[in-house]
Amino acid sequence: MIIEPVIHGVVARSAHPLGCQQAILNQINYVKSAQPIKHGPKRVLILGGSSGFGLASRIALTLGGAEADTISVSYEKAPCADRTASAGFYNDYYFQQFANQHGRQAINIHGDAFSDQIKTEVIEAIETYFEGEVDLIIYSVASGIRPDPESDKIWRSSIKPMTEPVSGATLVLENDHWQQAHLAVASEQEALETIKVMGGEDWERWIDALINAESIATGCKTVAFSYIGPEITHPIYLDGTLGRAKVDLHQTSHSLNLKLANFDGGAYASVCKALVTKASVFIPGLSPYLIALYKVMKQQGTHEGCIEQMQRLFTTKLYGQDKVPVDGERLIRIDDLELETSTQLKVAQLMESLNADNFRHVGDYNGFKQEFLNLNGFGFENIDYSQEIDTDMFIK
Ligand code: NAI
């Protein structure tokens, strides 16, 4: 099969295995040259480890100094005769190969992290591969839906404001269009369901299941990822349904911190930088901010991707210090460079001038699109995209 990029709206419907392999290799090369993670964890469970921050944390912890073994849970599409797999499926496949070549174990579990069945499977895998205990649990699941593990109900998240309607633009990657969107205020039910999907409840269920199974090692930490962003993004993010879910996640980190204190460990929410991932391009109104932010941070030399963020999180925040540095709300802040005053002043100015006619050259739309293509294994110069790919190998 010759594999070409197929994008519907902001969703990739195809992925290139060799490009996914290249994307992982690039991240490995980065962590090998970066400041190494010292005193890092050896047995790591990553929930949502096949792309974005979860995959980057897996690469950083395995090859960026800690030499960790990992178990990852993800929800990805396997390939079939006429369709490629989703990028995360290939990422898991190639990451496992690279990790094994470096003498590290990498176990991939595909299934619904929200379910009790996968929790049981993971606990069995911890018994088999980690001698029964984990040192770090990363919660990096990003999903639009969550089946209730105790009933037939499916909760659905909504990305909407909470107080007044918001107008913003979405950059449609399929046809490079600026599409104006108008978002109505969420109902209380929509906000509650978003908290069910993106808040801390499932994270807590995981930690409880691991505590009950006696799978928590002494000193075990857990971290989940959050976003706050500058004021310009608050109407759609922090003051909207997503922000409510993130506040719930922050509160969960405090209750989990008390539970893990019994093991001399700790629980944290880490506030990360806004980045192009499968999940973030979906947020209406956020993409104009992203192209302005990318432009300014690249000009200033402060731009980071998921891998730089994760390597910095583990070297300067979670490990190698006597105490994990947190802000007044006990949040780890790795979004410091994004929120620098000089950066935000320039981003705000740029956003004022962005419109449907000029966004391709005024903002970093090319960088935004390139990163999206790279996430799905496309747009790498050294890959010959005209060659036939044996997809049967992955089906088997
Ligand atoms: P992503 O879409 O790149 O990765 C999501 C991961 O969750 C994938 O591995 C996917 O397979 C997995 N997943 C989804 N549903 C699942 C299910 N039912 N069972 C098992 N695995 C499932 O997302 P990204 O952007 O890395 O997001 C991770 C976290 O980081 C989220 O909490 C997000 O809010 C947060 N974050 C993202 C930022 C961004 O700009 N991308 C900024 C700050 C925080």
Q: What is the pTM of this model?
A: 0.97
Q: How much distance in Å is there from the Cα of 332 to the middle of ligand 1?
A: 18
Average confidence (pLDDT) over 141-149: 96
Match 């409840």 to its residue by tokens: 201
pLDDT higher than threshold 80 for residue 352: yes
Q: Say yes or no: CB of residue 92 within 6 Å of ligand 1.
A: no
Q: Say yes or no: CB of residue 54 within 6 Å of ligand 1.
A: yes
pLDDT higher than threshold 80 for residue 396: no
Q: Does residue 335 lie in a domain region?
A: yes
Confidence tier at 270 by pLDDT (50, 70, 90)? very high
Q: Does residue 114 lie in a domain region?
A: yes
CA distances from 227 to 32, 135, 195, 269 (A): 27, 25, 14, 10
Kindly report the CATH number assigned to the domain that includes residue 277: 3.40.50.720
Residue of 51, 53, 100, 59 whose CA lies nearest to 76:
51
Q: Say yes or no: CB of residue 141 within 6 Å of ligand 1.
A: yes
Beta bridge partners of 109: 73
Phi/psi of residue 83, each to 5°?
A: -145, 140
pLDDT higher than threshold 80 for residue 376: yes
Q: How much distance in Å is there from the Cα of 388 to the middle of ligand 1?
A: 31
pLDDT higher than threshold 80 for residue 176: yes
Domain count, the chain: 1
Q: What residue's CA is closest to ligand 1, atom 3?
A: 52
Average confidence (pLDDT) over 45-59: 98
Q: Does residue 1 lie in a domain region?
A: no
- Residue 391's pLDDT is what? 81
Cα 190 to its chain centre, rounded Å, is 23
Q: Does residue 107 lie in a domain region?
A: yes
Q: Does residue 235 lie in a domain region?
A: yes
pLDDT higher than threshold 80 for residue 75: yes
Q: Does residue 2 lie in a domain region?
A: no
